[in-house]
């Protein structure tokens, strides 16, 4: 099957005072129709920048240096903003973490929803309103016509996030990019929202790119996972493969550092010493080597992103040579 979205060798740099900082470095991945792809990484690893560049929403001081983003056979990076507008909001939509700043505080929910619907679907006012009410029902809010008349501040965080999802779904997109959609919410509400997203994803047969740092959410939702570190993809695998047999030392440490309610209480959490290096784009070779327990002098050479098994990619030559054994299950 043709992938829905194919990102090839994407590099993005921020330019400040004529110096370039490469924050996304040769990232490649694809999204299949109907799948949930999670992009995981800590803050500053480039996961959000990658997502924003798909929709052409990068800040003015960011520059795409190379690569292509093919969506249904067309390169999004070569499009002008008018062509992009045909796709943004129609075929690809985005759900942001910060709902408070994504909804307009001086317009009612009804106003904002019907505006989107009539702009993208060409419905007249009455039909757009009916459709908006239907969408609000779909995301599980009670009394939709009352919600239509409310302003964003009158809704709770979870309700606002439901409205954001209604907006993203209104035009039945093929791909939703969700950037930390539930980070600001309480766990019981998070579960509600994630269940809703998955149900609607199945109903509409959409693909989702979920950007998160929450390993638990990844385990609950993902089909495939990409781990990013310091601007690079360092591992890609199906969710089962990743949790059973993570390759890269960073992935292993990341999975080991999550306290779980089912752990042995005496278990000591793996902690990764140090922090993400600040000038990581200047590091030659493996960018994790400074914090890696398995680092060897050979790690200072450029690391190849290679296929360990079909569908399982790792950027660590020592794993490839079998020098870092997998923990037996």
Partner 1 sequence: MKVEGLKKFYPVKGTTVRENKPFVHAVDGVDFEIYEGETLGIVGESGCGKSTIGRQLVGLEKPTSGHVLYQGKSISHMSHSRLRKIRTELQMVFQDSTSSLNPRKQVFDILAGPMLYHKIVDKETLDQEINRLLELVGLPKSMKYRYPHEFSGGQRQRIGIAKALLVRPRLVVCDEPVSALDVSVQAQILNLLKQLQDELKLTYVFIAHGLGAVRYVSNRIAIMYLGRIVEIANTDELFENPIHPYTQALFDAAPLPAPRLRGRDRIVLKGELPSSVNPPSGCRFHTRCPYALESCRVNDPMLLPIRPDSEHLAACPVLMPKETRNGEYNG
Interface ranges with partner 1 (CB under 8 A):
42-43, 156, 158-159, 186-192, 195, 213-220, 222, 239-240, 243, 253-255, 257-263, 265, 268-273, 275
The C-alpha torsion from 76 through 212 and 30 to 252, rounded to 10°, is 150
Question: Least separation, in Å, of the C-beta of 266 and partner 1?
Answer: 10
Question: Least separation, in Å, of the C-beta of 87 and partner 1?
Answer: 32
Looking from the CA of 30 toward its CB, the CA atoms found within 13 Å total 12
The residues, ordered by sequence, that sit 6+ positions from 256 with a Cβ below 8 Å of its Cβ are: 269, 270
Q: How far apart are CA 214 and CA 267, in angstroms?
A: 20
Question: Least separation, in Å, of the C-beta of 187 and partner 1?
Answer: 4
Nearer Cβ to partner 1, position 80 or 279? 279
Q: Which residue has the tokens 């129709």?
A: 33
Question: Least separation, in Å, of the C-beta of 302 and partner 1?
Answer: 24
Nearer Cβ to partner 1, position 131 or 281? 281
Nearer Cβ to partner 1, position 91 or 214? 214
Nearer Cβ to partner 1, position 86 or 263? 263
Question: Least separation, in Å, of the C-beta of 143 and partner 1?
Answer: 12
In terms of DSSP bridges, do strands 74-75 and 62-71 run parallel, antiparallel, or are they unpaired? Answer: antiparallel
Question: Least separation, in Å, of the C-beta of 209 and partner 1?
Answer: 18
Nearer Cβ to partner 1, position 50 or 190? 190
Nearer Cβ to partner 1, position 7 or 215? 215
Nearer Cβ to partner 1, position 243 or 305? 243
Question: Least separation, in Å, of the C-beta of 329 and partner 1?
Answer: 12
Nearer Cβ to partner 1, position 77 or 219? 219
Q: How many CB atoms lie within 10 A of CB 48?
A: 20
Nearer Cβ to partner 1, position 76 or 236? 236
Question: Least separation, in Å, of the C-beta of 158 and partner 1?
Answer: 6
Question: Least separation, in Å, of the C-beta of 6 and partner 1?
Answer: 25
State the SS3 of the chain: CCCCEEEEEEEEEEEECCEEEEEEEEEEEEECCCCEEEEECCCCCCHHHHHHHHCCCCCCCEEEEEEEEEECCEEHHHCCHHHHHHHECCCEEEECCCHHHHCCCCCCHHHHHHHHHHHHHCCCHHHHHHHHHHHHHHCCCCCHHHHHCCCHHHCCHHHHHHHHHHHHHCCCCCEEEEECCCCCCCHHHHHHHHHHHHHHHHHHCCEEEEEECCHHHHHHHCCEEEEEECCEEEEEEEHHHHHHCCCCHHHHHHHHCCCCCCCCCCCCCCCCCCCCCCCHHHCCCCCCHHHCCCCCHHHHCCCCCEEEECCEEECCHHHHCCCCCCCCC
């Amino acid at each position: 099957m043709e992938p829905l979205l194919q990102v090839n060798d994407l590099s993005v740099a921020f330019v400040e005072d004529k110096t370039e900082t490469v924050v996304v470095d040769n990232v490649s991945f694809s999204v299949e129709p109907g799948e949930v792809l999670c992009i995981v990484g800590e803050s500053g690893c480039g996961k959000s920048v990658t997502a924003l560049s798909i929709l052409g929403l990068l800040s003015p001081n960011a520059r795409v240096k190379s690569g292509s983003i093919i969506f249904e056979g067309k390169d999004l990076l070569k499009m002008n903003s008018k062509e992009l507008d045909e796709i943004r909001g129609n075929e690809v939509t985005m759900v942001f973490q910060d709902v408070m700043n994504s909804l307009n505080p001086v317009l009612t929910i009804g106003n904002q929803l019907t505006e989107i619907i009539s702009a993208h679907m060409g419905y007249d006012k009455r039909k757009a309103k009916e459709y908006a009410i239907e969408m609000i029902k779909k995301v599980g809010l009670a009394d939709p016509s009352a919600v239509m008349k409310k302003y964003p501040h009158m809704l709770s965080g979870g309700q606002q996030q439901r409205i954001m999802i209604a907006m993203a779904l209104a035009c039945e997109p093929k791909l939703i990019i969700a950037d930390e959609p539930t980070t600001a919410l309480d766990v019981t509400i998070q579960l509600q929202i994630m269940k809703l997203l998955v149900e609607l994803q199945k109903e509409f047969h959409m693909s989702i790119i979920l950007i998160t740092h929450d390993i638990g959410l990844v385990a609950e939702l993902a089909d495939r996972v990409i781990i990013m570190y310091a601007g690079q993809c360092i591992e890609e695998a199906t969710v089962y493969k990743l949790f059973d047999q993570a390759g890269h030392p960073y992935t292993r440490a990341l999975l080991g550092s999550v306290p779980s309610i089912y752990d042995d209480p005496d278990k000591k959490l793996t902690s990764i010493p140090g922090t993400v290096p600040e000038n990581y784009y200047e590091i030659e070779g493996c960018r994790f080597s400074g914090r890696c327990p398995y680092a060897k002098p050979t790690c200072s050479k450029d690391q190849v992103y290679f296929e360990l098994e079909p569908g399982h990619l790792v950027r660590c030559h020592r794993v490839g040579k079998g020098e870092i054994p997998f923990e037996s299950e």
